Structure 1
Amino acid sequence: MPLLEVEELSVHYGAIRAVDGISLTVDEGEVVALIGANGAGKTTTLRAISRLVPCQGRLRFAGRDITPLRPHQVAALGVVHVPEGRGVFPRLTVMENLELATWNRRRDREGIRRDLRRVFDLFPRLEERAHQPASTLSGGEQQMLAIGRALMMRGRLLLLDEPSMGLAPLLVREIFQVIEAIRRTGTTILLVEQNAHAALRLADRSYVLETGRIVLQGPAEQVAGDPRVQEAYLGA
């Protein structure tokens, strides 16, 4: 049984159909990439899975129908969303941002300490800036904080929306190295990313979206070798 099953998912914004009847699966331990141009429906798909936008179709997580659930209920089950634009709380310190993510496990103090150590091992700069407001961080550091906050929730499925957006090439490489390290811990990842080169190198499988529909899917290496993908997204 896949960890995540999306069946005939459709999302409308007024008269605009942003996602048009797509189906996809993510197996436990996989990294699955959603690639496509701006406006293809990638971010909307993640927002629907997190139950942040109304949708039609069916969503199952670990065999449970999560379609009727609210966002906080989905998060409590282990679906953790790192949104496009990072979404950190700018007036709170780095530590306060991380602590907010433990809202559903306050009594697990030892586990929280272990997870905090893990986040600081992955992102030493966050430990250095632990008592600074998040607003004082660079864009790359805010992305690190957003991912670190997600890890503090101990999610089984990590939804990553454009983690490299707006970052310098050196930081992009660093962020993807961290995503690879997270993957090695067994965390399942559904990745939305415009940097198709980086996404397809990291992913096990990939889906290509165009105007709300899946037009290609398969093993990431196979998708990367498709002439349409090479021309449209890889600059070949």
Structure 2
Amino acid sequence: MIEILNSSELARARDAGALVAHILQTLKSRTTVGTSLLDIDAWAGTLIVEAGAQSCYVDYEPSFGRGPFGHYICTSVNDAVLHGLPHDYSLADGDLLTLDLAVSLRGIAADSAISFVVGASKPAESMAMIGATERALAAGIAAARPGARIGDLSSAIGAVLSEAGYPINTDFGGHGIGSTMHQDPHIPNTGRPGRGYILRPGLLLALEPWIMADTAKLVTDADGWTLRSATGSRSAHSEHTIAITDEGAEILTLPRP
């Protein structure tokens, strides 16, 4: 299913995006060495409920997971890159943490992810990976405009990641979003320009470049959810929800002042 939002729905999407951005930044500011992933999950749940919103994850039960997910946020540490199931782990100095959050507010969902290093240590490899995903995300957003095709976005994202020297997995990528968290079209993190669905105003997309340092192969934890690099190498993930407008792409999940 591909949804095209009207002006009223787009206004709600802006509010949902602002809420997701606010929660992620709040969680980042609270996260320090010694913070438990379960504490982060509990904080996220409280912030979602206080805002009158709904989690897109608690009841999430796709075919690839061992569902329902049962938590409010994905917390992926170091070699975990996607769908990190919160568990009893206390963060250490230098850990690379990805927080991935999707929330529905008044019937419209928004989805975003941030990666950052916990504590004072800032390993060069981790910072380089985070920077590469952020640059790739910016390139994908810059390519998004009415009349562009999905392949244009995928090509722009993939070019940045490849130039930085990272293998690219296409099993999981960006996606359409609207009244539900995951919709068509699928947006791989590499592709050929000029191919795929034509973008039009009112379309919401979640773009999410993610990488692992030295492999494109994923393995699944015993929890049935957490996806890790097959080699144990570190990973990073950046994501924004954008709206296609007449002027181009509007980022809905940027933090507001």
TM-score, structure 2 as length reference: 0.27
Q: Which has the higher contact order (CA 8 A, sep 6+)?
A: 1
TM-score by length of 1: 0.29
